[in-house]
Homo-oligomer: A and B are copies of this chain.
Amino acid sequence: MTDAIAAPSSAVRPAGVPSDLESLSFETLTPVSFLDRAAAAHGERVAVVDGDLRLTYAELHDRCRRLAGGLAPLAGGRPVAVLVPNTHVGLEAAFGVPWAGVPLVAVNTRLSAGEVAYILEHSNSAVLVHDPVFDELVADVLKRMDSAGTRSAGAPPGRPTVIRVGEDYEALIAGAEPLAITPDDERSLLSINYTSGTTGKPKGVMYHHRGAYLQALSMVGHTGLTPSSVHLWTLPMFHCNGWCFPWAVTAAAATHVCLPKVEPSRIWELVREQGVTHLNGAPTVLSMIAYAPEAGPVETTVKVATGGAPPSPAILRRMAELGFDVTHLYGLTETFGPAMICDWQPEWNELDGETQARMKARQGVGNMIACAVRVITDDGADAPADGETTGQIALRGNNVMLGYLDDEQATRDAAPDGWFRTGDIGVMHPDGYVELRDRSKDVIISGGENIASVEVEQAIADHPSVLEAAVIAVPDDRWGEVPAAYVTLRDGESATESEIIEHVRTRLARFKAPKTVTFTELPKTSTGKIQKFVLRDEAWSGQERRIR
């Protein structure tokens, strides 16, 4: 669609090095290489625990290479999409799909059939690997794809090749020769992760091999993963490729424990049976764990990385009592997951509990491999580090996306000067730590998942009785934030709250439906623009920050 990215300029090279010996000191950075190392160095270690299934690193390595061999001819250079819960298949795809030489599209399993169909078409995916639990969803997706109306312009005709996990998937692996294509260029496309932004349609965030490799190393460093670690998959693998943890856990040659469904009783069972040492998740997930009937102190500290929303003092206190050491991270799909970390300062050990919790709720500083974080005011200057002046948080560097797939304008809008604008408003504290205060974009983050206000508004406006609608985030004790709708009906029409909510659920993922619907006149400017801030001021009155 546009120019290729120029290779970084090569300047002075040292003398004395024959050009044919370049490979002596150079290897392409790709996160799939961590599995080569794990298989060579820890081949007999259990790599994957998934129900009764156990895979050693040698077995996982072999299966991923065969998966690559099976997928490559089916994909024909086009992406492979996967629609699976947190099972061994999600992990195998994180290695096997790149080794097939094509990008991975890990689809959010909570989306509606229409949304999944859009993603498959937009990404031009040639293959869809799916779990049987999504049989119904996939049938609906394929039906939609067959109807010409939903196909986007330029998309090739035909549905993707569908591979069902179970017999089909195992036959593909069993019948294939091992394959491992490594990219010539470490900045080439590794995966496409769809995110809801401010516009209605999900955007395809392009990850590169180099970024995922470095982000994985950074995650190892910050979370202290070792070969003795046991990582429980409470974070969806489709979420920013699981914050790059399929690769990070493998880099450390630790054990992956799969969790297809986030059930507190099952989590506690696995924590105790498997000796879990690490897990990640949104504060919502932490609450489910901490307040489950099965909750009780753990023998060895469990390191928890949380993000998507700042953890509350109450949950931090409760987790600490149970023996969980919580680190707060911050990032977006566009930044390979956690680009920032609230790095704990040993000096803070001396502070009282309340102050500690306030420190931990800050979004923090760039992670080990990130560029310095900026807070940019409306006039383009860096906000002073006074903890008061607000500006938009901006990021760039090796753990930032290449751009949005087939959407140069959106990429340019998001990074007008080469700095990615997160859409989040924050302050820079005197100690260099950033704290979020508000969002500039109309995004609602509910239980760690993004929801674009506009897509919910459009779905509501589709209802025949609705004249216009505004959707904002409102605070919620369980999910952090939830969408709340304000609706004006057409003259003479009527509708109920549950009718509107049901209507949205037929079009979008269930979690995107508003939790409340208020029928009212919408506040507007003199020129007729809806003044959402009036609604937000009311909904968030008495709150310290405008995010949860």
- Partner-B contacts on A (CB < 8 A): 1-29, 34, 36-37, 40-45, 183-189, 206, 208, 211, 214, 217-218, 220-221, 224-228, 251-253, 343-347, 364-366, 368-373, 396-398, 400-408, 411-412, 415, 418-420, 431-433
When the two chains form their complex, are residues B365 and A21 in contact, meaning their CB atoms are under 8 A apart? Answer: no
Identical subunits present: 2
Q: Which residue of B lies closest to A211 (CB)?
A: B25
Known: A27-B396, A345-B45. Is A9-B411 also a contact (CB below 8 A)?
no
- A-B residue pairs in contact (CB < 8 Å), sample of 27: A5-B13, A6-B19, A7-B8, A8-B22, A8-B28, A8-B184, A8-B186, A9-B184, A10-B185, A11-B185, A13-B188, A16-B405, A17-B402, A23-B396, A23-B418, A25-B398, A26-B398, A27-B398, A37-B368, A41-B364, A41-B365, A44-B347, A220-B368, A221-B251, A224-B226, A227-B346, A228-B346
When the two chains form their complex, are residues B251 and A402 in contact, meaning their CB atoms are under 8 A apart? Answer: no
Contact of A14 among B15, B45, B189, B396 (CB under 8 A): B189
When the two chains form their complex, are residues A43 and B7 in contact, meaning their CB atoms are under 8 A apart? Answer: no
Which residues of B have CB within 8 Å of A206? 14, 16-17
| CA A13 to CA B5, docked complex, whole Å | 7
Q: Which residue of B lies closest to A14 (CB)?
A: B189
| CA A252 to CA B208, docked complex, whole Å | 25
Contact of A1 among B2, B15, B23 (CB under 8 A): B15
Q: Which residue of B lies closest to A335 (CB)?
A: B25
When the two chains form their complex, are residues B41 and A252 in contact, meaning their CB atoms are under 8 A apart? Answer: no
| CA A404 to CA B347, docked complex, whole Å | 45
Which residues of B have CB within 8 Å of A186? 8
| CA A258 to CA B14, docked complex, whole Å | 32
When the two chains form their complex, are residues B10 and A7 in contact, meaning their CB atoms are under 8 A apart? Answer: yes
When the two chains form their complex, are residues A17 and B411 in contact, meaning their CB atoms are under 8 A apart? Answer: yes
Which residues of B have CB within 8 Å of A228? 344, 346
Which residues of B have CB within 8 Å of A22? 5-6, 8
Known: A16-B407, A17-B403, A41-B365. Is A397-B25 also a contact (CB below 8 A)?
yes
Q: Which residue of B lies closest to A419 (CB)?
A: B24
Question: A-side binding surface: helix, strand, loop or mixed?
Answer: loop
Query: Among the interface residues A11, A17, A186, which one has the most CB atoms of the partner chain B within 10 A?
Result: A17
Q: Which residue of B lies closest to A221 (CB)?
A: B220
| CA A218 to CA B432, docked complex, whole Å | 26
Q: Which residue of B lies closest to A336 (CB)?
A: B25
When the two chains form their complex, are residues B8 and A26 in contact, meaning their CB atoms are under 8 A apart? Answer: yes
15 extra A-B contacts, CB within 8 A, seeds A8-B26, A24-B402: A9-B185, A12-B189, A13-B188, A15-B405, A16-B406, A17-B403, A17-B411, A21-B411, A25-B401, A26-B397, A37-B365, A42-B432, A45-B345, A214-B217, A224-B224
Q: Which residue of B lies closest to A43 (CB)?
A: B432
When the two chains form their complex, are residues A403 and B18 in contact, meaning their CB atoms are under 8 A apart? Answer: yes
Which residues of B have CB within 8 Å of A18? 2-3, 403, 408, 411-412
When the two chains form their complex, are residues A43 and B402 in contact, meaning their CB atoms are under 8 A apart? Answer: no
| CA A18 to CA B405, docked complex, whole Å | 11
| CA A34 to CA B372, docked complex, whole Å | 10
Contact of A400 among B25, B43, B368, B403 (CB under 8 A): B25
| CA A228 to CA B343, docked complex, whole Å | 10
Contact of A217 among B15, B45, B221 (CB under 8 A): B221
When the two chains form their complex, are residues B368 and A251 in contact, meaning their CB atoms are under 8 A apart? Answer: yes
| A375 smallest CB distance to B (angstroms) | 12
When the two chains form their complex, are residues A14 and B217 in contact, meaning their CB atoms are under 8 A apart? Answer: no
When the two chains form their complex, are residues A369 and B2 in contact, meaning their CB atoms are under 8 A apart? Answer: no
When the two chains form their complex, are residues A403 and B21 in contact, meaning their CB atoms are under 8 A apart? Answer: yes
When the two chains form their complex, are residues B372 and A14 in contact, meaning their CB atoms are under 8 A apart? Answer: no
Q: Which residue of B lies closest to A418 (CB)?
A: B23
7 interchain residue pairs of minimum CB distance: A41-B365, A11-B184, A4-B13, A3-B19, A14-B189, A228-B346, A17-B403
Which residues of B have CB within 8 Å of A398? 25-27, 29
Contact of A44 among B14, B37, B431 (CB under 8 A): B431
Query: Among the interface residues A185, A227, A368, A411, which one has the most CB atoms of the partner chain B within 10 A?
Result: A368
Contact of A40 among B37, B45, B432 (CB under 8 A): B432
Contact of A187 among B25, B225, B344 (CB under 8 A): B25
| A82 smallest CB distance to B (angstroms) | 19
Which residues of B have CB within 8 Å of A369? 217
| A168 smallest CB distance to B (angstroms) | 29
| CA A6 to CA B20, docked complex, whole Å | 9
